[in-house]
Amino acid sequence: MDIKYMLEIFPQFLSVIPITILIVVLAAVFGFLLSIPVAAARIRRIPVLSQLLGAYISFTRSTPILLQLFLFFFGLPVLLQLLGFDIRNIGPITAATVCLIFFNGAYMSEVLRPAYLAIDKGQHEAAESLGYTPFQKMKRVIIPQMGPIALPGLGNAIIHLIHDSSLVFAIGVVDIMGMATIMSGDTFGMKQVEVFLTVALIYWGISMVSEQIIRLLERRKKRVLKRTGYEMKEKEAGYSV
């Protein structure tokens, strides 16, 4: 094991880590935003739309993410041309990000939906009896209680997203794994163990940071949930908070 070589190649990975982080952050943020209307439509069981979204979720969860990356990279330009957009090809980073957004949106919607359904109906009725508007009910009662329920699942989704992002090199993205593949080829496979062990340590570090952020949010949400429960009890008893 050549530890010195691992230390030498580490700075080269620093130049591509931002690409991986950019893809993960965009896919996480926009995937979450996509998951909200998807979960809402399925909760309300909107005819036709709910069935279509169910098929979308089933497809994304039942097919390998690598296959989906190829479909987006090669198929998205064809689809856009059919819609009237003259785009011959799409950059690999764009295709990878869009693919992971759609994939992560489906995954996260299946986290939000059961979290919403786990809220007792009495909470909805209590908020409505206090004259809360739908927006106020969601903001003050439902979301604070959904947070602690959904956060572990959302955290797992982000960790899986970090892992899935390691496959984007297959469509030409020079990210962490892409750089590792290049280095492995340059050394004719003589330093594969050192290269991929370095990559493993980098992904481990990124995942550990993500886990700590998620745990911090979980602790904060639990405090909010306790305070919200107290406020609801006070209001139901007729006291002002």
Residue 51 reports pLDDT greater than 70? yes
pLDDT band at 235 (very low <50, low <70, confident <90, very high): very low
Q: Is 107 a domain residue?
A: yes
Q: What does the pLDDT look like over 189-200, one tens digit per residue? A: 677 888 899 999
Q: Is 94 a domain residue?
A: yes
Q: Is 165 a domain residue?
A: yes
What is the spatial distance between Cα 198 and Cα 3, in angstroms, rounded to a whole number?
10
The predicted structure's pLDDT at residue 229? 53
Q: Is 38 a domain residue?
A: yes
- What tokens appear for 94 in the block? 């764009």
What CATH code is carried by the domain that includes residue 182?
1.10.3720.10
The pTM of the full predicted model, rounded to 2 decimals, is 0.82
Average pLDDT score, the chain:
84
Average confidence (pLDDT) over 14-28? 93
Residues 145 and 228 sit within 8 Å (Cβ to Cβ):
yes
The predicted structure's pLDDT at residue 70? 93
Sequence length of the chain is 241
The predicted structure's pLDDT at residue 208? 92
The structure tokens 């950019």 sit at: 22
Query: Rounded to a whole number, what is the distance in angstroms from the first to the last CA of the chain?
Result: 63
User: How many domains in the chain?
Assistant: 1
Q: Is 83 a domain residue?
A: yes
- Which domain, by its residues, includes 211? 3-236
Q: Which of 5-19, 84-98, 227-241 has the lowest mean pLDDT?
A: 227-241
Residue 144 reports pLDDT greater than 70? yes
Q: Is 241 a domain residue?
A: no
Q: What does the pLDDT look like over 168-186, one tens digit per residue? A: 999 989 889 989 888 888 7
- For the chain, helix (H) and strand (E) counts, in that order, are 10, 0
Residue 43 reports pLDDT greater than 80? yes
Q: What does the pLDDT look like over 204-216, one tens digit per residue? A: 999 999 888 888 8
Q: Is 64 a domain residue?
A: yes
Q: Which amino acid is at 79?
A: L
